[in-house]
Structure 1
């Protein structure tokens, strides 16, 4: 597998405030990385820094062989970085279909193929964004990122606030996207054990620094890691369709 993203000694924050204090990691094309940590440890800031919407204060980022440290968010998106922020950022005054056709780019992920992934959205293709449930809005946010045909998908707390049945439906779709389709992803999620089942790599942030790194399987096999850094005890079984 070829190198996709390399983050070296990254320091970043907002204005003069520093949140990340020298974060380094790398991932190859086709890999999924679980980004873990308690609230306020810098996870969202790291995602935002890869997108390019924070203040760069040191270190570097390379994406698909190019130095993107000083590139704009638009330039990074054009290179293939897709983003699903916590706020979802859907167009609430447009229909589901308009939300997708407004941003779609040529590639394997077409609007119809995205509807195949989320049949519920096909049923609501004429509904406005503000007429959708929270779970449907999250599905639309993920789908909007997919039809941009990214090389790397960044997902910030994709299961947050969703009813368990909806969260499981979305998790099965994510498993198809990253395991079945091989799309690289970085996933921030408080429900660590659910996401680790999808992850090739995992890192834990604390106070803006990487304090633990390993494989998803390795983290799951050592409950002390999650207990120490996240306060997570015994996990639950994954929903049907998610790799065990």
Structure 2
């Protein structure tokens, strides 16, 4: 299968600070990859670099063969990047449905189809974004990204700060997106045991470099590797 996303020799950061060095990986169409690592190792910087809000010092990023370097974040979004940042950035003064329709682009992901993945959003379709719980805002942020009909979802810490019951609901929705719907995704996550079971491959960052790439299932079974790079000693 052809590469959807190709990152080659990426060296990037903010201002004069280099955060990522020689980062290289590929993501196929319909594939989900977990991006793991301790705090401050460059996970968010990787997502930001794909979106186009960092400084690129060297290397390339291509989406479906198109070089992204000369393109603005808005132009990259137009090519099919659906970004869900940690801050969610929903429109707090608009209703749930207005949040979805305000950014919608033509394609298979209609508002009704998004409601099918997130029934809770349908129940609250008339509620203002600012009145939603944190978990509901995260669902809305993902739904809003889907409304742009992306080729690739970029999720930055989607379960961070959420109650366990909401995390399970969100992960169930992601399973549907990734497996049943075949959505390609790059998912930054702190909790390896939550994200590895629902992704096909994973990479681990350490000090801005990739120190491991491989199948998610194999990494999940390798307790020594999880402990060495992520500090995970048990479920």
4+ runs of 1 displaced by more than 3 Å? none
Structure 2 residue runs without a partner (length 5+): none
Matched, 1:24 2:29: no
The secondary structure found in structure 1 opposite 2:40 is: coil
Task: Give the Cα separation in 1 of the matches to 2:72 and 2:223.
Answer: 40
For 1:103 and 1:219, locate their aligned partners in 2 and report how far apart those are by CA, in whole Å: 37
Counterpart of 1:242 in structure 2 is: none
The residue matched to 1:197 in structure 2 has which SS?
A: helix
Cα distance per residue 1:174-203 (max 9 Å; x no partner):
000011111100001111111111111111
Q: Equivalent residues in 2 for 1:40-119 (5 A)?
A: 40-119=40-119
Match of 1:240 in 2: none
- Count of aligned pairs: 235
Partners of 2:113 and 2:198 lie apart in 1 by 22
2:227 equivalent in structure 1: 227
Offset from partner CA, 1:122-172 (integer Å, 9 cap, x none): 111111111000010000000000111100000000000000000000000
Tell me, in whole angstroms, the C-alpha distance in 1 between the residues paired with 2:214 and 2:225. 10
Q: Secondary structure at the match of 2:233?
A: coil
The 2-side partners of 1:70 and 1:16 are apart by 19
Which aligned pairs between 1:166-205 and structure 2 lie closer than 5 A? 166-205=166-205
Using the TM superposition, name which of 80-89 and 65-74 deviates more. Answer: 65-74
Deviations 1:49-102 (A, max 9, x none): 000110111111111011112211111111101100000010001010100000
TM-score (structure 1 length as normaliser): 0.95
Corresponding residue for residue 3 of structure 2:
3
Distance 1:129 1:200 in 2: 32
User: Unaligned 5+ residue runs, structure 1?
Assistant: 236-244
TM-score (norm 2): 0.98
| Residue aligned with 1:102, SS | helix
1:238 corresponds in structure 2 to: none
Give secondary structure in 2 for the equivalent of 1:125.
coil
Matched, 1:210 2:210: yes
Shift of residue 3, structure 1, vs aligned partner: 1.2
Distance 1:228 1:68 in 2: 34
CA RMSD of aligned residues (A): 0.8
**Alpha-carbon distance in structure 2 between the residues aligned to 1:152 and 1:117:** 17
